[in-house]
Each structure stands twice: as structure tokens, then as C-alpha cells.
Amino acid sequence: MFTRFVRTVTVAIGALALASCGINSVPTKEEAAKAQWGNVENALQRRADLIPNLVSVVQAAAISEGDILARVTEARASATSINITTDDLSNPEEFQRFQDAQNQLTQAMGQLRTIVEAYPQLASQPRFGDLMVALDESNNLVSTERGRYNDLARDYNTEIRTFPATIAANVIYGAEPLQYFEADEAAQANPTVDMSAITERADSGQ
């Protein structure tokens, strides 16, 4: 009877020791961050899906800024062609390549937004207004989902570096830190566009 009691206590203590060493918390936090990555991808895809319709509306309004439209189209093609898996979230080079492509698309869209403001015929089109509202909502969603991913990735990265969970992270799982989204200064800055030349073309109906 006593031997069985000792065995039960030993098993319980062993289980608690393993749990405290991150045997459960490390994979749990990793899966939470990777699940959130799926939300980031969905938000980015939603934004990408709006762009062809927006470009079509601008083209239909006979806007002459073909180089900007081409830049937006090319940036979208580049951004949607770079796909990374959850395994790549620990790969700095692949993650940076993905982030750079998304930032280039954000910059191109910022330039397009600045330019079309010079064309009142666009602002008067309900479809254009609806698309811009939808795009703003998508951009906000992208920002929100990226922030949530960063929070979960940071939680996981802290876990695998902190004793005693670092024992399980290194000995059992071989855990690697997840990469973060970082703010791109060029993407956040106001686009530099020669508005005087654009305004002249808009006023002349070109």
C-alpha cells in the first residue's frame, strides 16, 4: 500500500516537473502563434483581392498614370507570388523576403491613393468610393492581425528563452525563435509624388 502511494506521488511530481520545464507550454505557445499566422495570410489575401477591381476602376476613368497602375499591378503580383509556410516563420531570410514584397505593395498603393486624389471624376464614382473604404478596412485588418501575430510570437520567443521552459525548448523540441513583422519606414512615410505635373494632366483631362 505504501509502495503504491510512493509510486503515485513520484509520478505526480514527475508530471509537474515536466510541465514546469515547458513540455506543454512550448508547443502550445508555438501553435497559437502559427494559428494566428493563418489570420495574417487571410487579411493579406483579402487586400490583394481588392486591388484588381480598384485598378480597373481607375483605368476606366481614363486616368493617365499608367506607370503607377503598372507598379501597383507588379507589386501585387510579387506579393502574392511569395508564399511562406509556418515552418518559414523561423527563417529570417524567407520572412524578410515576404515582408519586403508586402511593404512594396503598401508603398505602391500609397502612391496610387495620393495620385487619384487629383482626379475628381474618380471621387464621384460610388464604386471607387466603396473600393477605397474596403481597402482601408483591409489595411486596418492587416495591421491588427500582424500585431496579434507579433504578440503571440513574442510570447513564444520569451518562453523558449526563459528557464525552466528553455530546457524542453532546446532538449526536446529544438525550438527556433519566430520572426516578427517590423514597421517599414518607407511604407509609413508619405509617398513622394510630383503632384504639380499630375494636377496639370488631370485639369487638362489627359
pLDDT single digits (tens) 62-88:
777 788 899 999 999 999 999 899 999
CB 108 within 8 A of CB 77: no
In a domain, 64, yes or no: yes
pLDDT of residue 21: 58
9 pLDDT above the threshold of 50: no
Retrieve residue 146's grid coordinates: 500582424
51 or 118, higher pLDDT: 51
Neighbours of 200 (CB within 10 A): 12
**Winning range, highest mean pLDDT, from 52-61, 109-118, 131-140, 167-176:** 131-140
In a domain, 78, yes or no: yes
In a domain, 3, yes or no: no
In a domain, 18, yes or no: no
Residue 117's pLDDT band, with cuts at 50, 70 and 90, is confident
59 pLDDT above the threshold of 80: yes
Contacts with 28 (C-beta within 8 Å, 6 or more apart), sequence order: none
In a domain, 155, yes or no: yes
Task: Provide φ and ψ at 83, rounded to 5°.
Answer: -115, 135
Mean pLDDT, rounded, for 185-192: 49
CB 105 within 8 A of CB 79: yes
pLDDT of residue 98: 96
Instruction: Provide the 8-state DSSP code for 175.
Output: -
Cis peptide before 164 (omega within 30 of 0): yes
Is the C-alpha dihedral spanning 197, 134, 105, 51 positive or negative?
negative
pLDDT of residue 5: 36
In a domain, 4, yes or no: no
19 pLDDT above the threshold of 70: no
- Burial (Cβ within 10 Å: 0-12, 13-18, ≥19) of residue 174: exposed
Domain with 72, as residue range(s), is: 26-204
Assign 3-state DSSP to the chain and report helix, strand, coil percentages, each to 5. 80, 0, 20
Q: What whole-number distance in Å separates Cα of residue 34 and Cα of residue 37?
A: 5
Mean pLDDT, rounded, for 151-180: 92
Residue 43's pLDDT band, with cuts at 50, 70 and 90, is very high
Name the one residue in this structure whose C-alpha cell is 481614363: 62
**% of residues, the chain, pLDDT over 70:** 78
Q: Which helix (H) or strand (E) holds 154?
A: helix 126-161
In a domain, 126, yes or no: yes
pLDDT of residue 82: 94
Q: Considering its fold, how many domains does the chain have in total?
A: 1
Retrieve residue 36's grid coordinates: 494566428
